[in-house]
A and B are shown apart, each in its own frame.
Chain A
Amino acid sequence: MKVEQISIFIENKSGRLAEVARVLGQKGINIRALALADTSDFGILRLIVDQTDLAKTTLKEGGFTVSKTEVVAVEVPDQPGGLSGILDVLDRAQVNVEYMYAFVERCGGNAVIIFRFDDADAAIRVLTNSGVNILEGERLYKM
């Protein structure tokens, strides 16, 4: 039920993001979703791509520090209050969200939100029990 995401350490200096995009593009890797978290000195770029392992080795060879993390892709009704309902479910179950970001494509009529939880298994259980749809990695990479 989990989705593989790659995280890349990036110094705050010009050209580093461009370099990541260039390296991936050259290998024919398609970026499906991305989010950038930054501080004054450095940032962490989080990506979901269509070929996770190839992206990881390619970036490592390019001299980047890369790690693979597991996140959860959740279908969220694309209407007012849609996200709120899901966060309420998580809050009641005391599952913490480390961070989240939106996926570019829609799934049917729904939006897709990528979540990083401190306890992904608990989150999946709680959400599934509440009738929320979780997207499989394989489906997401191809969307």
Chain B
Amino acid sequence: MTSYFHEEIETMPRVVLQALQLKRLQATVARVYEKVPFYRQALDRAGVRPEQIRSLDDLRRLPFTTKQDMRDAYPYHLFAAPMDEIVRIHASSGTTGKPTVVGYTQKDIDVWTELMARSFVAAGAHKGDIIHNAYGYGLFTGGLGAHYGAERLGASVLPISGGNTARQLMIMQDFGSTVLTCTPSYSLYMAEEAREAGIDFRNLKLRVGIFGAEPWSEDMRAEIEAKLNLHAIDIYGLSEIMGPGVAIECIEMKKGLHIWEDHFLAEIIDPDTCEVLPEGSRGELVITTITKEGIPLVRYRTRDITSLTCEPCACGRTHARLTRMSGRSDDMLIIRGVNVFPSQIESILMRVEGVEPHYLLIVDRVDNLDTLEVQVEVNEQLFSDEIKVLQTLAQRIEKEIKDLLGVTSKVRLVEPKTIARSEGKAKRVIDNRKR
């Protein structure tokens, strides 16, 4: 029996859902046209007036919003509510220069809280759970987003935030944490620290882990589930749209992330031509928020690569599913003309017996040729007293990468713990070509 947080909405027939979506889309377009000069100009330029949105198909007539548009609007120029109605401000870590700023009205916070609570239930959490929230608290949306949702659910929240892994493990044992929320890479770092401290996850009460904020692979799921002895659930969100809880896998199927379509419209486009792709095609995810007041976004280009299906899910939820993100289009590396996502290399490494889930890709350009170095830590399981055994291991990984991805790499074996561990989003790539 599937549990729902809001059964009527989560299992709503798609025709009813679509009628709701249209009404909300129309209201959103009218709101941004009236309140946000950026959108008024963009719609005027595209020759679309809000009253011309008569069906969901008309969404395609609307202009896109990009990350650059958000940067240009720094800090508040895309807000559609006056500042005295904004009750919360978050900002994404700006890798280059200024962060991207978002504002929430009280209603926005209420919606986010409800969607995060729905997500917790879909992941198998319930009232009575002790939710160990190791997402960072602060301007980053992860910590507070999960926190409010957990409280709404009626669970007990441990607002432990990221860092101090020894203390995290102690609290996990002593407080009896049952649900863990953090980045997937941090969960594996915890597993490593636990092993060294002689803590066996089989003796802990953890049942479910909800992992997001960075792309991860199906093979990493298997690794996490084995090492932490829990169900590992993929959650998706981005601060521009809301924060965590935009989409989540159901524990029943773990096959695609349900996107909460009563609040978001999802499209998949070809990132080069911007053409909308048919259901099932892989491309860039574009999201339109249809209930947000603080900073509604029309056709926001997420840069995340995925596909979308509306096929019914065995869990009973009718909301469409996104396939696991293979990465952000701006994480994609182009190496000698070949597209490579770090998550693809991760999958290959995870399949090699004994390889640690910590790796680093170093991309460089030598004599006008791109080079890819894959650093892999040598632990006791991989180590051999014989040079040739280690060289064979490196060559085997190089061959797998060549066979599966079509790109030549150099595997460098490094000493244990020399690759930096992260308590938040893991850094997997150093691209020296960008210097």
B383 lies within 8 A of A65 (CB): yes
A91 to chain B, nearest CB (A): 20
Contact between chains at B386 and A9 (CB < 8 Å): no
| Chain B residues with CB under 8 A of A64 | 415-416
CA distance A121 to B136 in the complex (A): 57
A 62-117 contacts with B by CB, 8 A? 63-67, 69, 98-99, 116
Q: Is the CB of A7 within 8 A of B380?
A: no
Contact yes or no, B385 A69, CB < 8 A? yes
Q: Which of B378, B387, B412 contacts A65 (CB 8 A)?
A: B378
- Complex alpha-carbon distance, A65 and B379, angstroms: 6
Within 8 A of B (CB), among A21-40: 37, 39
Contacts of A9 in B (CB 8 A): 378, 383, 390, 413, 415
With a cutoff of 8 Å between Cβ atoms, the chain B residues found around residue A99 in the complex are: 386
A12 CA to B387 CA, complexed, in Å: 14
Asked if residues A46 and B385 are in contact (CB atoms below 8 Å), the reply is: yes
- In this assembly, does A48 line the interface, its C-beta being within 8 Å of a C-beta of chain B? no
Chain A, interface SS category? strand
- A64 CA to B378 CA, complexed, in Å: 9
Given A11-B415, A41-B412 in contact, is the A67-B387 Cβ separation under 8 Å? no
Could you tell me if B387 and A44 are in contact, using CB atoms closer than 8 angstroms? yes
Is A49 close to B, CB under 8 A? no
Chain A residues closer than 8 Å to B413, beta-carbon distance: 9, 11, 41-42
A7 near B385 (CB under 8 angstroms)? yes
B414–A11 touching, CB < 8 Å? yes
Interfacial residues of chain B within 366-401, with CB under 8 A of chain A in the complex: 378-380, 383-387, 390-391
Is residue A123 contacting chain B, with contact meaning CB distance below 8 A? no
B14 at the interface (CB under 8 A from A): no
For residue B417, CB closer than 8 A to chain A, the reply is yes
Closest to B386 in A: A98
- Interface assignment of A55: CB less than 8 Å from any CB of chain B: no
How many Å from the CB of B17 to the closest CB on chain A? Answer: 55
Could you tell me if A116 and B380 are in contact, using CB atoms closer than 8 angstroms?
A: no
Chain A residue with Cβ nearest B411: A41
- Do the beta carbons of B385 and A44 come within 8 Å of each other? yes
Question: Chain A 1-17, CB within 8 Å of chain B: the 1/0 string?
Answer: 00001010111000010
A140 to B384, CA, bound (A): 24
Q: A39 CA to B386 CA in the complex, in Å?
A: 11
Contacts of A98 in B (CB 8 A): 386
Instruction: For B373, give the chain A residue with the smallest CB separation.
Output: A41
**B375: shortest Cβ distance to chain A, in Å?**
10
Report the bound CA distance from A116 to B412 in whole Å.
Answer: 26
Docked complex Cα distance between A103 and B148 (Å): 67
Residues of B within 8 A of A44 (CB): 385-387, 390
In the complex, are the beta carbons of B380 and A65 less than 8 A apart? Answer: yes
Chain A: minimal CB distance from B414 (Å): 6
CB pair B385–A63 under 8 Å, yes or no, is: no
B41 CB–A CB distance under 8 Å: no
Across-interface contacts of B415 in A (CB, < 8 A): 9-11, 16, 63-65
Q: Enumerate chain B residues within 8 angstroms of A66, measured Cβ to Cβ.
A: 380, 383
- Identify the interface centre among B385, B390, B417: most chain A CB within 10 Å of its CB: B385
Contact indicator A39/B387 (Cβ below 8 Å):
yes
Residues of B within 8 A of A63 (CB): 415-417
Query: CA–CA, A44 to B412, complex, Å?
Result: 14
Q: Does B339 contact A (CB under 8 A)?
A: no
A128 to chain B, nearest CB (A): 24
Contact A116 B385 (CB under 8 A): yes
Kindly state whether residue B93 has any CB partner on chain A within 8 Å. Answer: no
| Chain B residues, Cβ within 8 Å of A65 | 378-380, 383, 415-416
Residues of A within 8 A of B416 (CB): 63-65
- Give A105 Cβ to nearest chain B Cβ, in Å: 23
Smallest Cβ distance from B77 to chain A, in angstroms?
Answer: 49
Pairwise interchain contact B390-A42, C-beta atoms closer than 8 A: yes
The CA-CA distance from A37 to B379 in the complex, in Å, is 18
Considering the complex, give the chain A residue whose CB is closest to the CB of B388. Answer: A98
Contact indicator A67/B380 (Cβ below 8 Å): yes
Q: Does B418 contact A (CB under 8 A)?
A: yes
- Chain A residue at minimum C-beta to C-beta distance from B377: A65
Compute how far the CA of A66 lies from the CA of B385 in the bound complex, rounded to whole angstroms.
Answer: 9
Complex Cα distance, B388 from A99, in Å, reads 12
Would you list 7 pairs from A and B whose C-beta atoms are within 8 A, ordered by A residue?
A9-B413, A11-B413, A39-B387, A63-B416, A65-B416, A67-B380, A67-B383
Q: A42-B414, A46-B385 are in contact. List 7 more A-B contacts (CB 8 A).
A: A9-B415, A16-B415, A37-B387, A44-B390, A64-B416, A65-B380, A65-B415
